[in-house]
Structure 1
Amino acid sequence: MKEKIKIVVVGNCQARPLAKILESLNPRIDVTTTAIVHLLKNENFEEYQPAFDEADLIVSQLVFDSYPCEFVRTSVLKERYGKKVLSIVNLYFTGYTPDWFYIRIPGKGPLKGPMGDYHNRTIFDAWQSGKSISEASSRILSEEYNQKYVSEPSHSLDLLREREEIVDVKITDVIDKYQTKKRLFFTFNHPSMFLIRRYAKRILAAANISEKWKLFPARDREALDQFVPLANPATGLPDGDFTTFKGVEYFFKDDFVAIRNKRKEYNASELVSCFYDIYETLDSTLNLSGKGN
């Protein structure tokens, strides 16, 4: 039996599904570890060093020199391991969901809700300005109201192209080709397995590693689709098979919000009602309205 091709993947939440797909493309590939950068500190290096040292290939999402964990910085990896490091971009595209964002509370982290850490700017602004649930619901589904986002797909793709200029393996042309044909991103930082598979193929080609199917191509089960807002109606991008906002159940806990790993789908009115409930319940302690207490 031929020796295994040892690969290490360094990155964010996209690293594990990428590792899974890389292994499915060639039975000789063994992803020996996935280094999830936001979970790591400098003192973790000794734990990961053997896998890095023994790897035939290190696939690393671009990590800048300002990142606090030094050993996963792309420049450090390239200096230490040379040509066996292939840099890639973090797949990030706001074209489908330009109106979604995080609300970070100092000392508490991201404010959660029916869509996990994600909040809708249109809903939040409508609540702050005293609009009704009905009006906010109409706004998030209105192509006319959302015209300010019409250029977001091209703008976001341009930004990704700029970041892509300094990595080894490109992918924006695939996003450009397929973005209007299928749902490539569920949220701005959660791509579909179709896109991750396309990137994995390019990574192997760049590393001169052949694809060798066992019998049939693997069927990918989506790994990053826990939260799926409907695509913004002004962008012209597809929803795929989704007709509701796909999220989870939430509950109030210790003057904050927690979520259950129990999936739940919401229509526009139900989603707005949930967010209004959260903002109104917590406004007195978090001052979400910005009006003081």
Structure 2
Amino acid sequence: MKRGLVISNCQCQPIKHTMSLYSDNIIFDGFGVHLLPHDNKAHIDTLVADIDKYDVVLAVPLSDHYGEISSEKIGDHVKGDKLVRIVNMYFTGLHPDLTYIGGIAKRVDGPLGDYHSKVALLAYLRGYNADETFKLYTAKVFEALGYFDAATRSIEELKNREQNVDVQFSDILQANYREKPTFFSVNHPTSLMFDLYCQRISAFLEEKIGIKQSGFHKDALFGMNYLAGSAIFPVYPEISNHLGLKYPGSYNFKPTTFGDSPVSTYDLKEMIALEFKAFDDVGKSDLTESHAAQLIDHQYSSIDFSNYF
């Protein structure tokens, strides 16, 4: 039995399971860089020391922060056809209001974990109350914030990032994101995306290095996608309407599911109230000093929300 390795972020687990099903006589391990501590050298050195045992390594582009498995250096350890560069599936077009607050090790926690609403954050920083903030979730505000252009921008950015990978994804996304749900959040693809992209990766492996595709029935319904248990950020109705999606938008925000405990979604008013509580817990002063808050405030400094009530 051959062995493969997937070096990726939170997408690592679904990819390793799907690729193990879609490719014949090979099992994939995963190395999730999102789980590494900030001081990651020892973990990466341990991986690199044993990486020769793998028949193929699927790796997303990584910065110099990741040392020996960065895009620049991983080719020193995985030679020739054994290294297959894949893309990190990332799309802001459906969720342009989603943002993180704080660095990776110091994220501000809220009702959806790491995920926050830009509109809620901006309104809070500008002193609006929850009722006033609720009124800002409109097409006019979204247009002013540039949300309606996010899909086009995000796909173009993805195409630029794909120039140095072996297996492209942007055309798959572009052909499908209007038809069915493709992302739970900006970096959590649905099973449909894993199915289609892993079909392409497995075909590439068969053509380029002789790892044959299996006879397993390829379909998103057979996918093992653990990301569905994480927080799910909705596609707002105004975004859905503007993009001409063939599925409806909503303001139902799903928190993370833990174990076998069911969760209920938050509506928009509940979400805003919980966001404001999370912001209060951090404190307005500390929140204002965060990189995300400064970036968002600067980006939208010319927009006066009072004009949209």
- Interval containing the TM-score (normalised by the shorter chain): 0.7 to 0.9
* Structure with greater helix share of residues: 2
How much is the aligned-residue C-alpha RMSD, in angstroms?
2.7
The whole-number CA distance in structure 1 between the counterparts of 2:279 and 2:45 is: 44
Q: Is the 8 Å Cα contact of residues 169 and 203 (structure 1) preserved in structure 2?
A: yes
Change (3 A) 1:134 1:203: same
Higher strand share: 1
Instruction: Note the residue ranges of structure 2 that are not aligned, 5 or more in a row.
Output: 291-309
Q: Take 1:139 and 1:132, find their aligned partners in 2: how far apart are those partners?
A: 11
Could you list the per-position Cα deviations for residues 158-216 of structure 1 after superposition, in whole angstroms to 9, with x for gaps in the alignment?
Answer: 00000001111101001000011111111111111211121111112112133223578
Alignment of 1:70-81 (within 5 A): 70-81=67-78
Q: Look up the match of 1:230.
A: 234
Deviation of 1:237 after TM superposition, in Å, equals 6.3
User: What TM-score do you get using the length of structure 1 for normalisation?
Assistant: 0.82
| Contact 2:251-2:268 at 8 Å conserved across structures | no
* Contact 1:283–1:289 (Cα < 8 Å) also in 2: no
Give, in whole Å, the separation in 1 of the partners of 2:252 and 2:15.
27
* Paired residue secondary structure (1:97): coil
Q: Kindly indicate whether the alpha-carbon contact (under 8 Å) linking 2:182 and 2:189 is maintained by their aligned counterparts in 1.
A: yes
Structure 2 Cα separation of the partners of residues 281 and 70 of structure 1: 36
- 1:138-287 correspondence runs (5 A): 138-140=135-137, 142-147=138-143, 148-208=146-206, 209-214=211-216, 219-225=222-228, 226-232=230-236, 233-234=238-239, 235-236=242-243, 238=245, 244-248=252-256, 263-283=263-283, 286=286
For 2:302, the equivalent position in structure 1 comes to none
Q: Give the paired residue count.
A: 271
* 8 Å Cα contact 2:112/2:231 also seen in 1: yes
When residues 167 and 216 of structure 1 are mapped into structure 2, their CA distance, relative to the original with a 3 A threshold, is closer
3-state SS of 2:85 partner = strand
Which residues of structure 1 form unaligned runs of 5+? 250-260
SS in 1 for 2:243: coil
Rounded to whole Å, the distance in 2 between the matches of 1:289 and 1:56 is: 47
Give deviations 1:95-129, integer Å, cap 9, x for gaps. Answer: 011111111179x7010010111111101111222
